[in-house]
Amino acid sequence: MKITRVRSILTAPDGITLVIVKVETDQDGLYGLGCATFTQRPTLVAKAVDDYLDPLLQGRDPRNSEDLWQMMMVNSYWRNGPVLNNAISGVDMALWDIKGKLANMPVYDLLGGKCREAAMVYRHADGREPQEVLENVIAYQEEGYLAVRCQMGGYGGRVKDITQATAVPSDQAPQATHRMEVMDRIASNFPGAYYNADVYARSIPPLFDYIRSKIGFDLFLLHDIHERLAPIDAVRLAKQLEPYRLFFLEDPLPPTQIEWFRRIREQCATPIAMGELHTHPLEWRPLVAEQLIDFVRAHISALGGLTPARKMASVCEAFGVRTAWHGPGDTSPVGHAANLALDLACHNFGVQEVIYFSERIYEVFPGTPELRGGYLWSNGKPGLGIDIDETKAAQYPITIKPIEWTQSRWPDGTLWTP
């Protein structure tokens, strides 16, 4: 059995650029699909797949997925970056998809079989003020979801959203107007996504106090700092949120501030989730080995695919760390299927982030996992259980434009890590 072609497919059914890799073989009708979605730099990933991995892999046996992963990782000599890792992931997931089809088994069976029938998921509830967030939380609860992530005004709370949501006394209105005028002037010279870290940090404990006072403690609640705070402020917020029993507090710090996770662990028992920016094992290994986090939040395609992710999950299990794979809109349905395969097979699964799958998604990606009763369900088909309709995918071309939300700035214009 030989690989005959490796190629990328770019599509955006819901307006978010997705990168899919298709690995074709010399066996009639046998191919695999993988997720290589790096929404911020999609065409670079596609070039890596089409110009480098395709000629490298043609003629090789697709069943040797471990050897091929090791070769792809080292072939460029420099490695462990998001572009190349995503390209490798697309191939790696596709090879697992091929394995499952050859064996006539779902990938989760190849990984050891089911540990559970379906994967508990969480959804995202946002709002401009606490009551709006509460209404969205209750709506998800009524739909049967067991866990909801609560934000207010997006990541870090956008400045204008926070200002509109906060009642300003009449005697302070002139000062507030002046501050907005100053910010508009700063933004004209330093355009970006502005937020006020101090106002944001002070707004979150009252938000959770309000929600818990209305719904009690029977629903799992989560929050994502998204690295929008200085380290010491992240420590303070983690302590303040302890009484509200979060399922986890996500990404309080960037990968460059690992030592500060020790301070958080020393100060409070708020569960911590981290990892969607990780592309190198040394970024997450100390966090797991020292038990500084409770959930690993890796973006599987940014790691390099299923092969490294299943190894990561095994290491995490040994240290009592659970999985909560990254699953936003910029994870393709193929990536969600891969997440689900690990969710079902790994004993140390915790929760799965997931999005709403539109009708367009199901049309372009038949076999996309289904959301029912607060859980994500596999269809049980061989491989990853998902396909792509390339004719329909072509009806949703991608668009390339500068990304604004990663240009996050403090009120004085200082660029801050998202």
Would the pLDDT of 329 be above 50? yes
Residues 46-50 have a mean pLDDT of 98
| 29 contacts 52 by C-beta, under 8 angstroms | no
Strands lying side by side in the sheet with 3-11? 3-11, 18-25, 31-35
The CA distance from 163 to 228, in Å, is 18
The yes-or-no answer on residue 223 being catalytic is: no
Q: Which domains does the chain have, with CATH numbers?
A: 3-107 (3.30.390.10), 110-381 (3.20.20.120)
Residues 167-172 have a mean pLDDT of 56
Q: What is the pLDDT of residue 6?
A: 98
The CA distance from 116 to 157, in Å, is 36
Q: Which of 108, 194, 226, 299 is catalytic?
A: 226
Query: How far is the first Cα of the chain from the last one, in angstroms, to the nearest whole number?
Result: 45
Tell me what the pLDDT averaged over the chain comes to. 94
φ, ψ for residue 147, nearest 5 deg: -145, 140
In this structure, of 155-159, 234-238, 242-246, 257-261, the range with the lowest mean pLDDT score is 155-159
Residues 82-109 have a mean pLDDT of 98
In this structure, of 169-173, 299-303, 344-348, 369-373, the range with the lowest mean pLDDT score is 169-173
The CA distance from 240 to 158, in Å, is 21
pLDDT band, residue 165 (cuts 50/70/90): very low
The CA distance from 93 to 100, in Å, is 11
Strands (E), 307-372: 322-323, 352-353, 370-372
CA dihedral sign of residues 272, 274, 280, 281: positive
Higher-scoring residue by pLDDT: 62, 185:
62
The yes-or-no answer on residue 210 being catalytic is: no
* Half-sphere exposure (Cβ direction) of 361: Cα atoms closer than 13 Å: 23
Find the farthest-apart pair of alpha carbons in the chain and give their distance in angstroms, rounded.
77
Q: What is the 3-state secondary structure (H, E, C) of 69-111?
A: HHHHHHHCCCCCCHHHHHHHHHHHHHHHHHHHHHHCCEHHHHC
Would the pLDDT of 163 be above 90? no
In this structure, of 106-110, 210-214, 279-283, 333-337, the range with the lowest mean pLDDT score is 279-283
Q: How does DSSP classify residue 318?
A: H
pLDDT band, residue 285 (cuts 50/70/90): very high
Q: Which of 108, 122, 155, 194 is catalytic?
A: 155
DSSP state letters, 112-140:
T--SSSSEEEEEEE--SSHHHHHHHHHHH
Residues 121-137 have a mean pLDDT of 97
> Tens of pLDDT along 315-325?
999 999 999 99
